[in-house]
Amino acid sequence: MPTPIVDSHIHLFPASHLPTLAWHGPNNPLGSQHSIDEYRHATSSVPTNPSAQKYLRGFIFLETDRISSIAEEGSENPGWKHALDEVSLLTRIALGEPVPGEGHKPIDRELCLGIVPWAPVPGGADALQKYMVQVKERTRTDDVWRKVCGVRYLVQDKATGVMLEAKFVDALRWLGMRDLAFDLGVDARGGGLHQLREAVEMMNIVYRGLDESEQVTIVINHLCKPNLRLDPESVFTHTEFLEWKELITCMAKASNKTYMKLSGAFSELPPLSADTDADIDSLVERLQPWTDVVFDTFGAERVMFGSDWPVCTIGGGGNDVSWNRWRDVVEGILEKRDLKDEEKEGIWGRVAVKAYGIAT
């Protein structure tokens, strides 16, 4: 049977939208257009024909950290405009209605399986409900609205304690009642393991007293960005690894509705060269202590493939090779785990479809 790949984590932005990105600057390596034309180039070695043994079924879009504020509007804040403009961009992609210069074509609509926009989660359930009404208006059709399968509010660069605020918790419970997922972005290496500790405490509060059917699905990004640069010879006894392992275990135990994305590693590893063939076996071996923890705690049924394109191109050697390198690394990881074919197929696509409630 053919194996459909669902890339559970990509970002898209035309050059015209660069000034609205919170991280954009004159020297940023992603400071150019990264739209579907560029994504098609990155994934060109993978067929989109379902008759192929393994083919690219499509992607789930994740918000790109637009300049936004929790309050809708005001004299001193940017409000929701840029985030909602991003929803309009994805609506044009999903409807096959390209605007000149945006880097997509009518045929690309078939690749857009899911949309995870930014949302003002710390504003609480009332702000979130008001915002999602506007998201629905921007999607224009029921078909596109159904592709909105969750939201993200990055906490990796936010003040300590934001995840434990009552409004944040209420917003996540609001999402759970509406079968919308929450993508959790924390950063163990850059932000500190305290972010993971806070995330675990938040999950315990959010899930407390709720039946599984009422619980929000939390999709954890990028293995929580662990310090993959630790010396492989001593990683198993390093305090960072041991605490990361303990916290990942707690996240997995918090609920069966927590999932982990097998993604983002190129940002945490020493950068790869574009000119030299990557040693995939060595990368798999270096990642194995960390990925073994993920599989041992979440199980294959709650792990999904994601490329983190185009961020993966920075550490992965550029757009010509990075997506394929990460796919090859994941292939190697799955082989090392000696998984059943059904489990592998789930990681490549079915787990993401289930977690996000994607209609296929």
Tokens coding 149: 């399968």
pLDDT of residue 1: 81
Q: How far apart are the C-alpha atoms of 46 and 55, rounded to whole Å?
A: 6
> What does the pLDDT look like over 207-259, one tens digit per residue?
999 999 999 999 999 999 999 999 999 999 999 999 999 999 999 999 999 99
By C-alpha distance, which of 59, 10, 88, 101 is closest to 309?
10
Q: Rounded CA gap, 39 and 104, in Å?
A: 10
User: What pLDDT is recorded for position 74?
Assistant: 66
Residue 76 confidence (pLDDT) above 80 = no
Two tokens, residue 208: 């407390």
**The pLDDT value given to residue 73:** 75
pLDDT score of 75: 62
Question: Which domains, and CATH codes, for the chain?
Answer: 3-356 (3.20.20.140)
Chain centroid to Cα 81, Å, comes to 22
175-199 pLDDT, tens digit per residue, is: 999 999 999 999 999 999 999 999 9
Task: Spell out the residues 6+ positions from residue 289 whose beta carbon is closer than 8 angstroms to its own.
Answer: 232, 235, 236, 241
Residue 220: both structure tokens together? 């954890």
Tally Cβ neighbours within 10 Å of residue 335.
11
**Measured distance CA(354)–CA(336) in Å, rounded:** 25
Task: Give per-residue pLDDT as tens, 292-305.
Answer: 999 999 999 999 99
pLDDT above 70 for 315? yes
Q: How far is CA 60 from the centre of its chain?
A: 8
Amino acid at 81: K
Quote the DSSP letter at residue 141.
S
Token pair belonging to 150: 């969750």
pLDDT at residue 92, rounded to an integer: 98
Q: What is the pLDDT of residue 271?
A: 96
Question: What are the tens digits of pLDDT across the range 146-177?
Answer: 999 999 999 999 999 999 999 999 999 999 99
Least confidently predicted of 1-5, 307-311, 344-348? 1-5
Q: How far apart are CA 23 and CA 155, in angstroms?
A: 14
Average pLDDT over residues 102-111: 98
What is the C-alpha to C-alpha distance for residues 185 and 223, in angstroms, rounded to an integer?
Answer: 9
**Residue 40: pLDDT above 90?**
yes
Instruction: Label residue 222 left, alpha or beta by phi (over 0 means left) and psi (-120 to 50 means alpha).
Output: left
pTM, entire model: 0.98
CA nearest to 326, candidates 353, 343, 340, 307: 307
Q: Taking residues 300-318, what's their average pLDDT? A: 98
Tokens in use for 187? 């950063």
Which is it for the CA torsion 231, 236, 239, 244, positive or negative? Answer: positive
Listing DSSP states for 153-207 in one string gives: ---TTS-TTGGGSHHHHHHHHHHHHTT-EEEE---TTTT-THHHHHHHHHHHHHH
- pLDDT tens-digit profile of 250-286? 999 999 999 999 999 999 999 999 999 999 999 999 9
The burial of 50, by beta-carbon neighbours within 10 Å (0-12 exposed, 13-18 middle, 19 or more buried), is given as exposed
Residue 85 has pLDDT above 80, yes or no: yes
Per-residue confidence (pLDDT) for residue 93, from 0 to 100? 98
